[in-house]
Amino acid sequence: MKNYKWNKLYTLVLVANAIYMVVFYLITKAF
């Protein structure tokens, strides 16, 4: 795995995906 470089944009993608899920959870609960 040492050959594969992490990039901060990957963190952004994963965080965005987590935020989408949280927002969808809130939508499910709210409506």
The CA distance from 7 to 5, in Å, is: 6
Binding residues for other proteins, total number by CB under 8 A: 19
The CA distance from 8 to 17, in Å, is: 14
Q: Which of residues 2-21 bind other proteins (CB under 8 A)?
A: 4-7, 9-10, 12-14, 16-17, 20-21
Give least dist CB 3 to other proteins, A: 8
Query: Among positive and negative, which fits the CA dihedral 18, 20, 4, 6?
Result: negative
Round to the nearest angstrom and report the end-to-end CA distance of the chain.
Answer: 43
Give least dist CB 24 to other proteins, A: 4
Positions touching other proteins (CB under 8 A) are: 4-7, 9-10, 12-14, 16-17, 20-21, 24-25, 27-28, 30-31
